[in-house]
Amino acid sequence: MKTNREQRFTEAGNALIYVLIAIALFAALSFVLARQTDTSESAGVSGDKANLYATQLISYATQTKQVMDQLVFSGTDINNLDFMLPSDPAFNTGTTGDHVNMVYHPDGGGLIPATLPPEVIKQTDADPVAGWYLGRFNNIDWTKTGGQDVILVAYQIDQSVCQKINDKLGVSTIPSISDDLKSILIDAESYATGANQDLTTGTTDICPECENKGSLCIQEGGQYAFYSVVADQ
């Protein structure tokens, strides 16, 4: 029979074993959670953040379209829209009244240039770099005429954000197009090397799913871009 001293020693030894087991289990759990966190971060923006960013991108597209509508309603011809950025040295040259057709000027549209949040960017090509692009680029063939439409593009964004955008637009997938994004969505002559190409949307064309879609996130070759037709002609 054990003495009280021996019994207390045994109980203390058992308690120490339990503590060591608990520490080992906690360390193992922490390692698993860390691995899961690393995997989710490398896979893309987390669900809640992707949803928030998607809302921000759609909101900026809506704001931009409102500015375009205001300029056109005030008498600016789409072909006369000026997309000069505030960073251009010539932005404020001229006299009062010279800036009425300028999208970003306070005397014109007054649109504030946006930047993509770093976490949204998924850049695989620096020609051009990831970012927002706005201009009278190429024609989208379901619009009224063959004239160049004004397109806003969030270029080279994260796949998870792209999917959340389409979820909000009622599109369950991310359409894959048969040509590179920059040639059909961005004025390559101004921002990148290469030639422009209109976005055709017929059954066997570049993007059948883009038919009558004023805003949509699409992909090609692992690159993702959200476009919005903010003024069509």
Percent of the chain with pLDDT over 90: 70
pLDDT at position 34: 45
Residue 152: pLDDT above 90?
yes
Confidence at 160, pLDDT banded by 50, 70, 90 = very high
Residue 55, number of CB atoms within 10 A of its CB:
13
107-142 tens-digit pLDDT: 999 999 999 999 999 999 999 999 999 999 999 999
Phi, psi of 176 (to 5 degrees): -100, 130
Mean pLDDT of the region 23-45: 49
> Among candidates 185, 199, 170, 160, which has minimal Cα distance to 46?
160
The answer, yes or no, to whether the previous bond of 128 is cis (omega within 30 of 0) is yes
pLDDT at position 98: 86
C-alpha–C-alpha distance, residues 118 and 97, integer Å: 37
C-alpha–C-alpha distance, residues 161 and 158, integer Å: 5
Confidence at 27, pLDDT banded by 50, 70, 90 = low
Residue 214: pLDDT above 90?
yes
pLDDT at position 23: 55
pLDDT at position 17: 60
Residue 29: pLDDT above 80?
no
Burial class (CB in 10 A: 0-12, 13-18, 19+), 144: exposed
Question: DSSP letters along 65-92, please?
Answer: HHHHHHHHHTT--GGG-B---TTSTTTT
Mean pLDDT of the region 169-188: 92
Q: How distant is the alpha carbon of residue 139 from its chain centre? A: 21
73-106 tens-digit pLDDT: 999 999 999 999 999 999 999 877 789 999 999 9
